[in-house]
């Protein structure tokens, strides 16, 4: 690799949720919308000053919206709301996203900077509210919660990508950054995996209701990215189909055929469930595209698959994974398989079964990248809403019930003892060992050499090298931080 070869060591995801809202507003109202992606800037030192400088040019703006798309952004969202309120005391500030959809009351308290809190998909309700406020601008005395119904398919809009032009990594493309344009050809998921969705949680109704774009509109959504960005110098991007499930089989086959005809040179990524994927039929088309596919396997053994409510036929499901991965590898298709460790119910036996399964899966593979995630107990999930059940059944201990209200959320979401016999310290070591074990095997296997997908080979290489380097020190650094912040947890274990 010479020094002019891009190193591609960073990833960027334009904020699709805000782009959807902005597109909808622009389409239906005569309004100027500007999008700021502060996610990368907000972690910087001196963030208060930097945020102030960054936001100080918006004194012409009356309305500000903050997206709290994951619970781990709760404190950052409040901080951002307060900064805006101090700079622009008379403005109207909205907040929406996954966390406000589940716990809107977390944003409604005396002195809250927010005027309106949106629970659910907010396009239509925000539009209606703005129309009223344009005629009569009045801030409510206390924060007002607006519950939104799931959007119907005819209310869907395709993102207007001109709105993304203000993002730093689009304005000044950096050849070292992979940009993933998240695209949604559907919304909602009919499955009920316990770590993901709680069927009894009303506020997540939007996430449970499946709605799909018709094929021609789905295709337009994909091609519109190409039309705008294809010839942009230094912009390396992947069209990343981020739906919870990537359509149904018939839809996928038709879409592959169209993509082969209309835009085969483009990189694509999509995620779906392994038990919905038909390797023998789909691979014929996928291999003609520069396509990466990601599967949420989530449980690596029968017992955990049942606890996660991932499937009713765990044995068959695991066999399907083995078969699909073999076929994908033989056909030189880059694929990743995600596994979660440390969910309530995890035992020493399930951990060793999972690593055995994964070891066998990566053996002699060149195109498979396993992703191991440490379980975080996200609100809105069955596991979160039924902690008592897990405490009684497995001896699980959850340490910080409202973990998102603590500083250091990167730890607090992970701090639980999954069962009587496995605690969070064990999971920390297992997390390291799983990575080192699998990634060392993969690096020896030699990563796939597809000539037309060199950038992806580079990405795999980068992820694996970084993980091997970082993971060696992971337990020491993670546990040191936890010990400093929460020493009492070590007395309990």
**Nearest residue (CB) to ligand SF4, 117 versus 297:** 297
Q: Which two tokens stand for residue 99?
A: 């966390």
- Report the alpha-carbon distance of residue 247 to residue 252 in Å, rounded: 6
**Nearest residue (CB) to ligand B12, 244 versus 345:** 244
In the complex, minimum distance from the CB of residue 296 to ligand SF4, in angstroms, rounded to a whole number: 5
Q: Of 81-89, 102-110, 191-199, 248-256, which segment contacts ligand SF4 by CB under 6 A?
A: 191-199
Residue among 296, 299, 297, 313 nearest 347 (CA): 299
Q: Decide: is 21 part of the binding site for ligand B12 (CB under 6 A).
A: yes
* Sequence-separated (6 or more) residues with CB below 8 Å from residue 256: 282, 285, 286, 288, 289
Contact positions with ligand B12 (CB under 6 A) in 244-303: 244
Tell me if residue 272 falls in helix, strand or coil: strand
In the complex, minimum distance from the CB of residue 96 to ligand B12, in angstroms, rounded to a whole number: 2
Residue 314 CA from chain centroid, whole number: 25
**Nearest residue (CB) to ligand B12, 294 versus 329:** 294
**Contacting ligand SF4 (CB under 6 A), which of 61, 79, 191, 406?**
191
In the complex, minimum distance from the CB of residue 70 to ligand B12, in angstroms, rounded to a whole number: 4
- Alpha helices by DSSP H, listed for 341-446, are 348-362, 382-385, 387-394, 409-412, 424-445
Q: Decide: is 244 part of the binding site for ligand SF4 (CB under 6 A).
A: yes
In the complex, minimum distance from the CB of residue 252 to ligand B12, in angstroms, rounded to a whole number: 17
Q: Decide: is 104 part of the binding site for ligand B12 (CB under 6 A).
A: no
- Report the alpha-carbon distance of residue 223 to residue 246 in Å, rounded: 17
**Nearest residue (CB) to ligand SF4, 104 versus 244:** 244
- Report the alpha-carbon distance of residue 21 to residue 65 in Å, rounded: 10
- Report the alpha-carbon distance of residue 164 to residue 184 in Å, rounded: 16
**Contacting ligand B12 (CB under 6 A), which of 106, 115, 121, 282?**
121
Give the relative orientation of helices 123-135 and 16-28 as an angle to the nearest 10 degrees.
50
Strand duo 10-12 + 177-183: pairing: parallel
Neighbours of 485 (CB within 10 A): 14
Contact positions with ligand B12 (CB under 6 A) in 361-390: 376, 378-380
Q: Decide: is 99 part of the binding site for ligand B12 (CB under 6 A).
A: yes
Q: Which two tokens stand for residue 110?
A: 């005396």
Burial of 141 (0-12, 13-18, 19+ CB in 10 A): exposed
**Nearest residue (CB) to ligand B12, 94 versus 439:** 94
Q: Which two tokens stand for residue 435?
A: 């990575």
Give the relative orientation of helices 348-362 and 314-330 as an angle to the nearest 10 degrees.
30
Q: Which two tokens stand for residue 478?
A: 């993670």
In the complex, minimum distance from the CB of residue 310 to ligand SF4, in angstroms, rounded to a whole number: 7
In the complex, minimum distance from the CB of residue 101 to ligand B12, in angstroms, rounded to a whole number: 5
Give the relative orientation of helices 249-262 and 215-229 as an angle to the nearest 10 degrees.
40
- Report the alpha-carbon distance of residue 416 to residue 486 in Å, rounded: 13
Q: Of 15-23, 171-179, 212-220, 472-480, which segment contacts ligand B12 by CB under 6 A?
A: 15-23
**Contacting ligand B12 (CB under 6 A), which of 69, 161, 181, 478?**
69
Residue 345 binds: one of ligand B12, ligand SF4, none (C-beta under 5 to 8 A by kind): none
Q: Decide: is 187 part of the binding site for ligand SF4 (CB under 6 A).
A: no
Q: Decide: is 189 part of the binding site for ligand SF4 (CB under 6 A).
A: yes
Phi/psi of residue 236, each to 5°?
A: -100, 120
The site string for ligand SF4 over 289-328 (x = CB under 6 A, - otherwise) reads -------x--------------------------------
| Whether 140 contacts 108, CB under 8 Å | no
Residue 74 CA from chain centroid, whole number: 16
Q: Decide: is 456 part of the binding site for ligand SF4 (CB under 6 A).
A: no
**Contacting ligand B12 (CB under 6 A), which of 73, 238, 427, 489?**
73
- Report the alpha-carbon distance of residue 91 to residue 42 in Å, rounded: 21
Residue 98 binds: one of ligand B12, ligand SF4, none (C-beta under 5 to 8 A by kind): ligand B12
Beta-carbon-side half-sphere exposure of residue 215 (alpha carbons within 13 Å): 12
Q: Which two tokens stand for residue 129?
A: 């509210």
Q: Decide: is 106 part of the binding site for ligand B12 (CB under 6 A).
A: no
Q: Of 88-96, 220-228, 285-293, 338-346, which segment contacts ligand B12 by CB under 6 A?
A: 88-96
In the complex, minimum distance from the CB of residue 138 to ligand B12, in angstroms, rounded to a whole number: 18
Q: Decide: is 16 part of the binding site for ligand B12 (CB under 6 A).
A: yes
Q: Decide: is 309 part of the binding site for ligand B12 (CB under 6 A).
A: no
Interacting residues with ligand SF4 (CB under 6 A): 189, 191-193, 196-197, 244, 273, 296
Interacting residues with ligand B12 (CB under 6 A): 13, 15-18, 20-21, 39, 65-67, 69-73, 94-99, 101, 118, 121-123, 126, 182, 184, 196, 242, 244, 376, 378-380
């Amino acid at each position: 690799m010479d020094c002019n070869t891009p190193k591609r060591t960073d990833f960027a995801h334009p904020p699709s949720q805000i782009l959807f809202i902005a597109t909808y507003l622009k389409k239906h109202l005569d309004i100027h919308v500007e999008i700021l992606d502060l996610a990368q800037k907000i972690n910087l030192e001196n963030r208060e000053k930097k945020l102030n400088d960054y936001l100080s040019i918006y004194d012409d703006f009356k309305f500000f919206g903050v997206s709290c798309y994951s619970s781990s952004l709760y404190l950052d969202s409040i901080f951002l709301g307060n900064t805006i309120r101090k700079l622009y005391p008379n403005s109207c500030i909205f907040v929406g996203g996954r966390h406000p959809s589940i716990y809107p009351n977390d944003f409604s308290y005396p002195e809250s900077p927010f005027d309106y809190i949106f629970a659910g998909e907010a396009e239509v309700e925000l539009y209606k509210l703005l129309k009223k406020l344009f005629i009569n601008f009045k801030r409510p005395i206390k924060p007002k919660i607006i519950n939104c119904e799931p959007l119907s398919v005819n209310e869907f809009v395709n993102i207007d990508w001109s709105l993304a032009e203000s993002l730093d990594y689009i304005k000044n493309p950096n050849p070292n950054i992979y940009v993933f344009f998240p695209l949604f050809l559907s919304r909602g998921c009919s499955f009920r995996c316990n770590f993901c969705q709680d069927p009894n949680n009303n506020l997540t109704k939007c996430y449970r209701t499946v709605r799909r774009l018709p094929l021609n509109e789905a295709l337009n959504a994909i091609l519109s990215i190409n039309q705008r960005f294809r010839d942009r110098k230094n912009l390396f991007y992947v069209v990343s189909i981020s739906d919870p499930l990537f359509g149904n089989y018939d839809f996928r086959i038709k879409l592959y055929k169209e993509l082969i005809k209309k835009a085969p040179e483009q990189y694509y990524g999509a995620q779906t469930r392994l038990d919905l994927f038909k390797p023998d039929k789909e691979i014929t088309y996928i291999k003609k595209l520069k396509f990466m596919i990601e599967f949420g396997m989530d449980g690596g053994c029968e017992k955990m698959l049942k606890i996660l409510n991932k499937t009713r036929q765990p044995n068959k499901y695991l066999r399907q994974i083995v078969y699909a991965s073999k076929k994908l590898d033989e056909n030189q298709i880059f694929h990743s398989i995600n596994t979660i460790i440390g969910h309530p119910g995890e035992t020493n036996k399930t951990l060793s079964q999972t690593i055995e399964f994964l070891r066998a899966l990566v053996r002699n593979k060149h195109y498979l990248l396993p992703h191991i995630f440490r379980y975080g107990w996200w609100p809105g999930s069955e596991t979160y809403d039924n902690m008592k059940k897990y405490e009684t059944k497995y001896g699980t201990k959850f340490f910080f019930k409202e973990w998102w209200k603590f500083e250091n959320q990167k730890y607090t979401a992970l701090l639980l003892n999954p069962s009587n016999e496995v605690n969070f310290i064990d999971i920390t070591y297992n997390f390291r060992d799983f990575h080192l074990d699998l990634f060392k095997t993969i690096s020896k296997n030699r990563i796939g050499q597809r000539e037309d997908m060199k950038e992806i080979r580079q990405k795999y290489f980068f992820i694996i090298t970084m993980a091997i380097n970082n993971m060696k020190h992971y337990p020491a650094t993670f546990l040191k931080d936890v010990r400093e912040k929460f020493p009492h947890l070590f007395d309990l274990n």
